Amino acid sequence: MRRRLGRESLYMPSCRLGLYVALRHWCPPGGRVLMSPVNDDVIFFVVLAAGLRPVQAPLKAEDGSIDLAAVPDAVWRGLSAVLTTNLYGNPDPAPELRARCDQLGIPLLEDAAHAIGSEVDGRPVGSFGDASVFSLSKHTGAKTGGFLAIADPALRPALERARDELLSPTRLASELVYGLRPYAEAGVRGLRLVGAARATLRLLGLEERNEIRMPLRPGELKQALSAEPALAGLHSWIRVDMHDYRLRPGGLRLRRTKRLLTRLDTRLAAHTAGTRLLSASRWALPRPGPAQPLFRVPLLVEDREAAIAALARHGITVGYLYDPPLDAYAGELFTDPSPAPGAASWFARHALPVDPLRAELVLSILTELGARPAALPREPDRG
């Protein structure tokens, strides 16, 4: 990854731990961080655990990327950092965000969990910010691990110490569960038992949400935030679907991750081909430039629930839904709401994230269903 990005890269047990380390290093306590409201709620809780105030950004309805033009000047002036999302692998406007952060003298942090192969202006996502975090659970399929890439290699020792202070010891039981997971998933999914597959993951502590968003538990959250900011205080929120997010990796995890990383270019090529096919469908908007190896392609469907049900009947589970947006989910007690929330709400309601590796089957199912494309809002929402 150092060769790919041209940056020093530090292994992390998970992307979420890497983000926490970066936020604590680059952001002052109590700082305000501009972020996307269409994002995993775990990331929201990581920002809170770092002692920071999430500020929800306005988004573009067509792709869920940050809409710089809709961020008021007063919001820019009060920020301590900007955190990109690169949702589903579609890049946020990193060059423009980099320039704005330089003007303000604040760090740009890139969450590239979905974007390990995406590019902006010929440069890889993750090479614009002061730091960027990546997941090895996504494109590689390792289901564990991540890394923190940094612009200044002199910072590596300090960040490595910060990581090590947060690690939990390797546990044999966790290694065994990790080793068995691919076989458990493959067995039940090979039998087209989607419900059984999800039940298996819940039994292993690897999938815990009954709804798209985890329960906020506002009373408990308020109490947790009244203490000194720390990862431990919000552990029950941050660990959801990944109890080993801060576990020191054992040999089994590292060997499998290394093996899968050797196949990354092949996987990226397959994702690019699937993205190209899905992007040419009537449920996708035209994307400028060459196809990216998106982790998921957000098709825009009018009746998403009907589409999800049709896909489930064919054994396809739709994940990585982020509805409602974080400001609607958490409320003003825990976050600054977006100054222009309409586009984010529309995108979160209509986006159907499709695995590019299942492109042909998904398109045939949507065609058979007669799914209608969602029409973009007539006017940009500016609050």
219-256 confidence digits (pLDDT tens): 999 999 999 989 999 999 999 999 999 999 988 889 99
CA pair distance 226, 43, nearest whole angstrom: 19
Which residues, including other chains, have CB under 8 Å from residue 247's CB and lie 6 or more apart? 13, 167, 168, 169, 170, 171, 174
Residue 198 vs residue 366, higher pLDDT: 366
CA pair distance 31, 74, nearest whole angstrom: 15
pTM of this structure? 0.91
CA pair distance 258, 116, nearest whole angstrom: 15
| Residue 152, token pair as written in the block | 């200044």
DSSP string, 79-111: -SEEEE--GGGPPP-HHHHHHHHHHHT--EEEE
Least reliable range by pLDDT among 39-43, 189-193, 293-297, 305-309: 189-193
Is the backbone peptide bond immediately before 324 cis, with ω within 30 degrees of 0? Answer: yes
177 pLDDT more than 80 = no
Would you tell me how many other CB atoms lie within 10 Å of the CB of residue 341? 20
Query: CB of 323 within 8 A of CB of 348?
Result: yes
76-85 confidence digits (pLDDT tens): 999 999 999 9
| Residue 254, token pair as written in the block | 């590292």
260-298 confidence digits (pLDDT tens): 999 999 999 999 999 999 999 999 998 888 999 999 999
336, with CB counted inside 10 A (0-12, 13-18, 19+), is: middle
Which residues, including other chains, have CB under 8 Å from residue 166's CB and lie 6 or more apart? 17, 20, 21, 231, 246
**What phi and psi, each to the nearest 5 degrees, are found at residue 171?**
-120, 130
Domains of the chain: 2-166 (3.40.640.10), 261-369 (3.90.1150.10)
Give SS3 for 297: strand
| Residue 198, token pair as written in the block | 């999800």
For the chain, what is the mean pLDDT?
Answer: 92
pLDDT band at 209 (very low <50, low <70, confident <90, very high): confident
CA dihedral 285, 288, 289, 293 (to 10 degrees): -40
| Residue 258, token pair as written in the block | 């290394």
